[in-house]
Chains A and B, each alone.
Chain A
Amino acid sequence: MNLAFKDIRFNVLRFLLTAVGVAFLMTASIGMVGLYRGIVADALLVIERIGADLWIVQGGRQGPFAEGSAVAGTMDRRAEGLSGVASARRFVQFSQQFPFAGRSLRASITGLDFPQDRGDWISLHSGRLLASGHLEAVADVSIGLRLGDMIRLGQDDYTIVGLARGMVDMGGDGLLFVTVNDAIAIAQRRTSEEVLLARASAGPAAANRSSVPQDSKIAAVLVALTPTADEAAVRRAVLAWGDANVLSRVDQRDLLLNQRLWRLRVQILAFTAVLLVVTGIVVSLIIYMLTMEKLHEIAMLKLIGAENSVIISMIAQQSFLIGAAGLVLGLGLSALIFPFFPRKVLILPADIALLGLAVAVICGFASLLGISRALKVRAQDVLS
């Protein structure tokens, strides 16, 4: 006879309410881990999918994902001339706010070196990729645009020809893909006042220049190597230019995870640990209280000769059932709630397995408290 199941079936509402309480704590833990995974996935999205073996960035700098980076507009031509380089593309990315239908939208403008890069690596949800070198854009759905919408960026109107899903930058802003040339034009947007001020200070020849110094908008050059290329040799060659640094995909990952996102990772990990400790305390208290409620029955069980294993099994099973139910309900709640969160919450099977392990440890510890109390009960206590 399984006493734990019998007790749960008899007090099913109490069990469910307890499990729901634990489930909310589990949901919060799953959310914290999922948020972290989402941020990492978003941060690595471009690096992993854009198909570059090497990133050539401004000399002495760590590239656009770590700090400001600007390379010469012709650096892609230089890179193409290196032995072992299959292709070189320019990379531009910057955040932009723009008005649309009375709202202010925000996007991360990302340049595709069209026609070399037509954006085949983008997760297209509907519509099509860029087919023209100008005035077309593919937007992530999170920006809030629809197919056919016209948006004004810089001095021009762009038509949304495609919608992507899950394409966001490290900050969670949806990516808006245009050609590199369009991206540069948008970045160099100047107000009339700026142009007038530039003319006044430097004459008509300066009209094409901004009063605000404008660096190159090319943040990096993406290099794809041939299968037989010697990566180290290409690196050496680029570094020999003096005005460029070179990073591999692994370098970029390391840079993002262990430098740029390090504090965030530790913060989220610490908060998750706090949540798990709170869960542990709550589950321990619940199991302890459930045990305290049953002291008389436990004394009776001892009186009729039940071995300690019967009592230990009852308490431990209840503890693990509460934990398991809390985890399952927590997963269900997570699946219901997190899709509505503004940032990606990524729930990975490996994380669920780890969380399950943590819950098992918590339940084991919690049941130890109850068991240690139960084992102190004497059969004669049934008379008290």
Chain B
Amino acid sequence: MSTTPILRLRDVTRHYRSGDSLVRALDGVSLEIHQGEVVGILGPSGSGKSTLLLIAGLLEPPTTGEVLMDGRTVATAQTDLDALRTFRRTHIGFIFQKANLIPFLTAVENVALALEIDSVRPREARAYAAHLLATLDLGHRLDNHPARLSGGEQQRVAVARALANAPRLLLADEPTAALDSVRGRQVIALFREIADRRQAAVAVVTHDPRALDLFDRTIELCDGRLGHG
């Protein structure tokens, strides 16, 4: 394991104003995730898990503190996150509870789109997308639209899309919530395999206790503060 973490949050806080009161969604959170590591982020609803994921994914700025990728500070309270769109595209992959596939694109097109957005030529993008889907046992579903895929298949297409640009960091928000236990374990096992094979760092926000044994470690959030599992 390299000494420089892929993701590092340093004393991150995130506060919201709600009327006259101040909501502390995250309160001084620091964590590191290294390459090849699959980390589970646990905690009850409202504990700040999703906020943590948004800040780590450069979708929201921290109120204080900083986000570092590969040792480089990429986000602070003053950062214009819209300017990080390209950085996000090439460094971070996202997977959600819902697959969020584009309904009018086929499975292979959903994956290829992520590559074409990154200026990969259409033919090459499609070929690589097909290869990625084949490695996820979806080679026979390339030209199916999302509506024709099962929940598990859709989620695997979403994983393929997240992997398309070979990101160093994969962030997953409740990826198994809509799946049965077998499919849920398969998805976490897939993250495990991706982390091993691609040396990516994977952070998975989950409520699901069925696959905890597949994580390298878990961290627990409670009221915006961190405790280790």
Which residues of A come within 8 Å of B, CB atoms? 1, 3, 6-7, 9-11, 296-297, 300-307, 310, 378-380, 382-383
Q: What's the Cα separation between A132 and B73 when bound, in Å?
A: 102
User: Given A302-B85, A304-B113, are A382 and B104 neighbors across the interface (CB < 8 Å)?
Assistant: no
Main secondary structure of the interface of A (DSSP, over half): helix
Q: What's the Cα separation between A304 and B59 when bound, in Å?
A: 11
Q: Nearest Cβ distance between residue B99 and chain A, in whole angstroms?
A: 10
Question: In the bound complex, do residue A304 and residue B145 qualify as a contact, i.e. CB atoms below 8 Å apart?
Answer: no
Closest A residue to B53 by CB, please name it: A383
Q: Is B118 an interface residue (CB 8 A)?
A: yes
Q: Nearest Cβ distance between residue A238 and chain B, in whole angstroms?
A: 74
Interface residues on chain B, number (Cβ under 8 Å): 29
Question: In the bound complex, do residue B100 and residue A296 qualify as a contact, i.e. CB atoms below 8 Å apart?
Answer: yes
User: Given A1-B109, A380-B54, A383-B173, are A306 and B104 neighbors across the interface (CB < 8 Å)?
Assistant: no
Closest B residue to A306 by CB, please name it: B117
Q: Nearest Cβ distance between residue A305 and chain B, in whole angstroms?
A: 3
Main secondary structure of the interface of B (DSSP, over half): helix
Q: Is B179 an interface residue (CB 8 A)?
A: no
User: Given A305-B86, A380-B60, are A300 and B104 neighbors across the interface (CB < 8 Å)?
Assistant: no
Q: What's the Cα separation between A221 and B103 when bound, in Å?
A: 74
Question: In the bound complex, do residue A305 and residue B102 qualify as a contact, i.e. CB atoms below 8 Å apart?
Answer: no
Question: In the bound complex, do residue B88 and residue A305 qualify as a contact, i.e. CB atoms below 8 Å apart?
Answer: yes
16 interchain pairs, CB-CB under 8 A: A1-B113, A1-B125, A3-B102, A11-B104, A296-B100, A302-B85, A303-B88, A303-B94, A304-B89, A304-B117, A305-B117, A305-B118, A305-B165, A380-B54, A382-B94, A383-B50
Q: What's the Cα separation between A310 and B85 when bound, in Å?
A: 13
Q: Nearest Cβ distance between residue B22 and chain A, in whole angstroms?
A: 21
Chain A positions within 8 Å of B59 at CB level: 303, 378-380
Within 8 A of A (CB), among B103-127: 103-105, 109, 112-114, 116-118, 122, 125
Which residues of B come within 8 Å of A, CB atoms? 50, 54, 59-60, 85-86, 88-90, 94, 96, 100, 102-105, 109, 112-114, 116-118, 122, 125, 145, 161, 165, 173
Q: Contacts A11-B104, A305-B89, A306-B117 given; 19 further ones with Cβ under 8 A?
A: A1-B125, A6-B104, A6-B105, A6-B109, A10-B104, A297-B103, A301-B102, A301-B117, A304-B89, A304-B94, A304-B113, A304-B114, A304-B161, A305-B86, A305-B90, A378-B59, A379-B88, A380-B59, A383-B50
Q: What's the Cα separation between A86 and B209 when bound, in Å?
A: 107
Q: Nearest Cβ distance between residue B187 and chain A, in whole angstroms?
A: 18
Q: What's the Cα separation between A263 and B72 when bound, in Å?
A: 73
User: Given A1-B113, A1-B122, A305-B86, are A382 and B96 neighbors across the interface (CB < 8 Å)?
Assistant: yes
Closest B residue to A297 by CB, please name it: B102
How many Cβ-Cβ contacts under 8 Å join chain A to chain B?
Answer: 64
Q: Nearest Cβ distance between residue A300 and chain B, in whole angstroms?
A: 5
Chain B positions within 8 Å of A378 at CB level: 59
Chain A positions within 8 Å of B90 at CB level: 305
Chain B positions within 8 Å of A310 at CB level: 117
Question: In the bound complex, do residue A300 and residue B102 qualify as a contact, i.e. CB atoms below 8 Å apart?
Answer: yes
Chain A positions within 8 Å of B165 at CB level: 305
Question: In the bound complex, do residue A300 and residue B100 qualify as a contact, i.e. CB atoms below 8 Å apart?
Answer: yes
> Of the candidates B85, B122, B145, B173, which one forms a contact with A305 in the assembled complex, judged by CB atoms under 8 Å apart?
B85
Chain A positions within 8 Å of B116 at CB level: 1
Q: Nearest Cβ distance between residue B118 and chain A, in whole angstroms?
A: 7
Chain A positions within 8 Å of B117 at CB level: 301, 304-307, 310
Closest B residue to A10 by CB, please name it: B104
Q: What's the Cα separation between A297 and B103 when bound, in Å?
A: 8
Chain A positions within 8 Å of B173 at CB level: 383
Chain B positions within 8 Å of A307 at CB level: 85, 117
